[in-house]
Amino acid sequence: MIKTVYNTASPEETTALGARLSSEGMIAAGDIVALSGDLGAGKTVLAKGIAKGFGVAETVLSPSYPVLLEYKTADRRNLYHFDMYRIASADDFFSLDFYEFVNENSLVLIEWFENIQNYIEKDLAVLTAALRKTGDQTREITITTLS
């Protein structure tokens, strides 16, 4: 397990970090990324950057109401952005058909992963991005990978 800690001083730096992580291959198609942190910690801001670096041209929004937003890249890869904030039970989770979205051609971002972690298959590799507010605009972002 490898942990890398980044500090950002603004939402723009958080977005740029996300873009760098995916454009340089630390986050790539086939990955599941668990974004965790308190409300307002910057999960969606980081997701916007990851999407940009992955090749998504559209503006990434918070998927809070629809639970899932889907984006496509020019080279036909998929980015699935889940918000599991309102998932309260195994029935809620399994009704999403989550595993239909996990494949080598797709990047899956999950906000509020802690609400579903008990329902994820144990052998499924999940990269984590834990965000913590350290000030009004500053964030500490810890990326944990399995290798």
Parse the chain into domains and list their residue ranges: 2-145
Q: Which of 9, 52, 1, 45 is nearest to 27 (CA)?
A: 52
DSSP one-letter string for 77-117: -EEEEEE-TT--SHHHHHTTTGGGG-STTEEEEEETGGGTG
Distance CA(67)–CA(74), nearest Å, equals 24
Give tens-digit pLDDT for 67-92.
999 999 999 999 999 999 989 999 99
Give tens-digit pLDDT for 16-33.
999 999 999 899 999 999
Which residues on adjacent β-strands are paired with residue 69?
Answer: 81
Q: What is the pLDDT of residue 1?
A: 85
Q: What is the pLDDT of residue 53?
A: 96
Q: Which CATH number applies to 2-145?
A: 3.40.50.300
Show pLDDT as tens, one digit a residue, over the chain (147 residues): 899 999 999 999 999 999 999 999 899 999 999 999 998 899 999 999 999 999 999 988 877 678 999 999 999 999 999 999 989 999 999 999 999 999 999 999 999 999 999 998 887 888 999 999 999 999 999 999 875
